[in-house]
Amino acid sequence: MAPGKLILASTSPRRSDLLTEAGIPFEVRPAYIEELSDPELSARELCLVNAESKALEVATRFPAHVVLGADTVVALDNRTFGKPRDLEEARTMLE
C-alpha cells in the first residue's frame, strides 16, 4: 500500500459506495474495537466517539496513511438504538 493512501476504517458497503462514486481511491481496513454504547452520551457524541475510536485503531496499524473513521447512530426522541441482532429485532425497532 502506497504511503498516504486513504484507508476507510469501516466495512459499510454504503460508505465504500460513496467514496467510489466520488472517485476517491481507498482501501477498506476494518477496525477491531468494541463499539461504545453509553446512555449518558447524545447520539452525536456517541457517533463521534465510535468513529474516532475506529480511526485511531486502524491508524495504529497503518501510521503512514490517512484514515477515515465513520459511524452511524440511529436515535429517536433522545433514545439511541444499537445495531439489531437479527432481522426480527430490526423489524421491531422500525415499528
Q: CA angle, 3 as apex, 14 and 10 as ends, to 5°?
A: 20
Catalytic option among 17, 38, 71, 77: 71
Q: Is 71 a catalytic residue?
A: yes
Cell of 17: 459506495
Is residue 37 a contact partner of residue 82, using CB atoms and an 8 Å limit? yes
Residues 6 or more apart whose Cβ sits within 8 Å of residue 12:
70, 72
Q: Which residues are catalytic?
A: 71
